[in-house]
Amino acid sequence: MSLVGKKAPLFTAPAVVNGGEIVENFSLKQYLGKKYVVFYFYPADFTFVCPTEILAFQERIAEFDAKNVAVVGCSVDSQFSHWKWLQTEKNDGGIKGVKYPLVADSAKTIAENFGVLAGQYDYDDEGNSSFSGTPMAYRGLFLIDKEGVVQHETINNMPLGRNVNETLRMVNALQYFEKHGEVCPANWNEGEEALKASQEGIANYLSKH
């Protein structure tokens, strides 16, 4: 089930912020009414594709900041695993230098509520639980507006890394629509012409392209 058009699920969980500070009660609620949020999941700490994504978002963090967007990562690892990885040099497979928050979803409930958990809990007749599947998150990404509503989501399987440029493009498209009331056509990029959401507007746009 897609979360687009719905309120993002609420949670309170431990997180590591500013590259090394453990916060026990982190929540996206702090951004409501203030910032947009790019909230993304990755499978696990100390893996191979994951650091390329985490570092790629950090390299572009100034662009997100300029657009009033908070970037927040999340995996099913503990806050202590996050902290250790954040202290590890890049040359040793670490992500030292990443400053945006990394949320610890050890109970897997956040990933489950966002629909990105690669598996599920099963219960026998006596109520005992077991997990079937891979106890990690897919590469889900959710663009959340200032009202806490999900406006865009993507979910990749674990081997498939994301494109930070596309995330920024979607931020630009959302903010352009909110400001101008015009919708963004296929392959639209910041600075390009959009179109009015009417038959006349579509016809005018197509006549120029």
Are 19 and 93 within one domain?
A: yes
What per-residue confidence (pLDDT) applies to 208?
Answer: 56
What per-residue confidence (pLDDT) applies to 188?
Answer: 76
**What are all long-range contacts of 146-149, with beta carbons under 8 Å and residues at least 24 apart?**
146/31, 146/32, 146/33, 146/34, 146/35, 146/36, 147/32, 147/33, 148/7, 148/8, 148/28, 148/29, 148/32, 149/5, 149/6, 149/7, 149/8
Residue-range definition of the domain harbouring residue 168: 163-209
Q: What is the mean pLDDT of each run of 10 residues along the chain (209 residues)?
A: 96 98 98 98 94 97 98 98 97 96 97 93 82 91 98 96 96 92 78 65 50
Overall domain count for the chain: 2
Are 113 and 44 within one domain?
A: yes
* 5 within domain boundaries: no
Are 170 and 148 within one domain?
A: no
Instruction: Examine the residue annotation and report whether 50 is marked as an active-site residue of this protein.
Output: yes
Are 128 and 188 within one domain?
A: no
Are 148 and 170 within one domain?
A: no
What per-residue confidence (pLDDT) applies to 209?
Answer: 53
pTM: 0.90
Given 50, 71, 104, 116, which residue is catalytic? 50
What per-residue confidence (pLDDT) applies to 41?
Answer: 98
* 23 within domain boundaries: yes
Instruction: Give the domain-ending residue among 161, 177, 192.
Output: 161
Are 183 and 109 within one domain?
A: no
